[in-house]
Chains A and B, each alone.
Chain A
């Protein structure tokens, strides 16, 4: 018998960002035994990076807001491929979840009458984002963390799951290792919640940290779960482009929400030149109207900078390609100009966007209260993920749940800013509740030594290959390079076919990955074990993107540049075939109930 530590839980949560922590809190509160595994230290997950805010129709700033408007905005943003049940639950429950954070100690910015302040954001009709300056994610994760540590959950920091264990068809637990010593760990669990976040590290330019290698997506896929909407990768329009070492780091949409404007090298506000038909009635006609909107004028419509992220990212891409970009290959994002309109404009910027001010000051030696920033698209968010039931977040594998970015459905073809933080707490809560319920009604599952031993053998092979093997960092870099070039913001069949060939080649090389032979906090070894997940996810993205022969939301096909109404009736679902091959298929959307259709009609 191989050497490993063992733990046993009712519910095991993989991931300790907003969704994982919220799920763990909910499950623990219901009285079951909860374990949390996180790849980093507690409180460092990517939720901490979220800046702009959490979307919830609290109607504190504009009393015309309610769940129906939020639902319609989310569906419009997702180009109607969303799981409408999730969009409905999300819009209805987000306000409660946000208020709950306040009861746990979160301190949001306030309105004049002392309630939670809300700000404008792309694709949201009314000011809807509860926020704390531009560090809302930090506030949220710290609140959940500080509340969670007193609920009895056990946290396994700096541990990574390598495989999910199955008993017949159902979940039996997970197997992985800790980073510190490189020891193996078996977590038996009646139910497992995947809350591992995104996949950004499969691309070269990304706002995501090293952790986001699509672990949850790959674990679920290999355990037999279905994946949904994998073609939809969100490229956030505004990442830093210079210096090169910070390329991709996020510049919050809050900059545009506070009045920041995009200009090309000719000084033109190019976003006014291309406003999609279905947003025309909601978009400002003049720069003046757009400015009034950002300052809270309820009769004004939003400036085109606040159109959905997919659209803004493509417009920026077009300007750069047409030779109208900024010196370092982006465009200009100017917030300094608001000094013309606001007395104390510089102080206002520092107060509303303190992290952005420091980020540019320290990393680029640029004072954003004086000069424009240079920004360009960055791989930011994965709309696709584990296919789940809208109510319970159950995957197609019994006992396996998913929430947050690793789950799919809520955002359809494109996510609205602010809808991610609310996604985490709404569906984290639901996943925790239903996984605990499942665990209470289930007997313990059996652990299969064969699965454990296979996982150990795979994990040890890079050490056995030793430093003479393939450098895992090099494999990762090559993958990131061609995914960025061939399956990025603009896609064609020919390029994606080439990407598939390259992925197959890298799979062969990944087997030969080798690192110096120590298990003791060996980053090279960790990377070697992450690479197979990135390869599976990259293949899924590419195959789904190839099958969808149209442009919609985050997917832009140069060879099929238009939206195709027929494709609007389908999602793409991926699962592992009986011979280990990736099966990609079209699946018709579930028909939407009349009352929801009506809501969408009313809000058009």
Chain B
């Protein structure tokens, strides 16, 4: 493995910025976040980077590495070609705060607009419920989400078309699916998904699923089943006929 590498890091804020080059020593087993930390400690103490767990569990250190949306803590240098500069830039779908840090607060506002969990009455006199593991499995997949927002970053409805005011993005389709398919939930979010959250804008390109660091099958297991429910409710010709009759 190379003993040093060149990192081309975007520095700047909402008013603009530029890439700056930092050469730093590297060792076997290092991830991109280690290199960023080394640059920060030795060359650029005010380099802004957001991180927490450094183990792929909190979803804080999302960035674009050589153009791919990734968690910096889970991207090993050994996966990258260190003969070339490693390009590290912030997520593009969100406003810049500074350097590698973006303003992701929009996601937290969106979540509040989704109807919350509403369980059925408990199954047992002691106030508890009975659920089979097989029924829980499906939703547990969605609840693995670490809210890194890489799926939001790569979604063209947000990234290219900036529909943040009308569209909630893959993260919140997964969230809505987790609630909608929760064995205990009694509320219904299908009207909202069609009319308020404009799920129809999604044309299932699977970009979101491809970047998910938790390997959640976003498109196939969350979005498509929700789209089917929308179709069932609003566009089924037989049901329409029954409604008219």
Contacts and interface: CB of A to CB of B under 8 A. Distances in A.
Contacts of B145: 142
B144 interface: yes
Interface residues of A, number: 64
Given A138-B57, A150-B116, A246-B54, A525 B130 contact: no
Given A104-B117, A520-B13, A40 B52 contact: yes
Contacts of A42: 108
Contact of A149 (B112, B144, B146, B179): B112
Nearest to A472: B45
B128 A99 contact: yes
Question: Considering residues B40, B41, B119, which has the most beta carbons from chain A within 10 angstroms of its beta carbon?
Answer: B41
Interface residues of B, number: 61
Interface in B55-111: 55-60, 74, 76, 97-99, 101, 103-105, 108, 111
Interface stretch (B133-141, B204-212, B216-224): B133-141
Q: Which residue among A515, A518, A520 has the maximum number of chain B CB atoms within 10 Å of its CB?
A: A520
Nearest to B45: A524
Interface stretch (B24-32, B160-168, B195-203): B24-32
7 contacts: A49-B55, A105-B184, A149-B108, A362-B74, A362-B76, A522-B45, A523-B48
A521 B144 contact: no
B26 to A, nearest CB: 10
B60 A523 contact: no
B234 interface: no
B143 interface: yes
A359 B59 CA distance: 14
B131 A110 contact: yes
A86 B174 CA distance: 39
Given A243-B27, A246-B55, A473-B40, 4 more contacts: A40-B58, A103-B127, A114-B132, A523-B48
A205 interface: no
A107 B111 contact: no
A524 B40 contact: yes
Contact of B31 (A41, A115, A139, A363): A363
Contacts of B132: 110, 114
Given A138-B57, A209-B53, A105 B45 contact: no
A403 interface: no
B34 interface: yes
Interface in A477-501: 477
Nearest to B105: A157
A244 to B, nearest CB: 6
Contacts of B29: 242-246, 363-364
B241 to A, nearest CB: 37
Interface of B: 13, 27-31, 34, 40-41, 45-60, 74, 76, 97-99, 101, 103-105, 108, 111-112, 116-117, 119, 122, 126-133, 136, 139-140, 143-147, 179, 182, 184-185
Nearest to A98: B128
A287 interface: no
A10 interface: no
Contacts of A41: 50, 60, 104, 108
A596 interface: no
A114 B108 contact: no
Contacts of A155: 108
A246 B60 CA distance: 16
A575 interface: no
Contacts of B13: 520
A358 interface: yes
A4 interface: no
A512 to B, nearest CB: 14
Chain B contact residues: over half helix, strand or loop, or mixed?
loop
A455 interface: no
A522 B55 CA distance: 23
A552 interface: no
A48 B76 CA distance: 22
Contact of B58 (A209, A250, A524): A209
B57 A355 contact: yes
A602 interface: no
A105 B31 contact: no
Interface in A348-368: 355, 358-359, 362-364
Contact of A107 (B30, B97, B139, B146): B139
Given A150-B116, A358-B56, A139 B34 contact: no
A44 B30 CA distance: 23
Contacts of A167: none
Given A105-B117, A146-B111, A521 B55 contact: no
Contacts of A474: 41
A243 B60 CA distance: 21
Interface of A: 40-44, 46, 48-49, 99, 102-105, 107, 109-110, 113-116, 132-133, 135, 138-139, 142, 146-147, 149-150, 155, 157, 180, 209-211, 242-246, 249-250, 355, 358-359, 362-364, 467, 471-474, 477, 515-516, 518, 520-525
A280 B212 CA distance: 47
Nearest to B140: A107
B168 to A, nearest CB: 15
Nearest to A525: B46
A245 B145 CA distance: 24
A477 B112 CA distance: 40
B143 A142 contact: yes
A525 B45 CA distance: 8
Contacts of B28: 243
A435 B59 CA distance: 32
Given A107-B136, A109-B133, A244-B27, A48 B53 contact: yes
B51 A245 contact: no
B205 to A, nearest CB: 25
B133 A110 contact: yes
Contacts of A138: 57, 143-144, 146
Given A105-B117, A110-B136, A523 B47 contact: yes
Given A132-B140, A355-B57, A243 B30 contact: yes
B34 A245 contact: yes
B45 A516 contact: yes
Given A157-B105, A522-B48, A115 B54 contact: no
B52 A209 contact: yes
B56 A362 contact: yes
A162 to B, nearest CB: 19
A597 to B, nearest CB: 30
A448 B89 CA distance: 43
A523 B33 CA distance: 14
Contacts of B147: 43
Contacts of B112: 149-150
B97 A180 contact: yes
B74 A363 contact: yes
B53 to A, nearest CB: 5
B140 A521 contact: no
A577 B148 CA distance: 45
A524 B46 contact: yes
A44 B60 CA distance: 7
A109 B136 contact: yes
- The 10 tightest CB contacts between A and B, nearest first, are A243-B29, A524-B45, A114-B130, A105-B117, A521-B48, A473-B41, A521-B98, A209-B52, A516-B46, A245-B34
B68 to A, nearest CB: 15
B140 A518 contact: no
Contacts of A109: 133, 136
Contacts of B53: 44, 46, 48-49, 209
Contacts of A521: 48, 97-99, 101
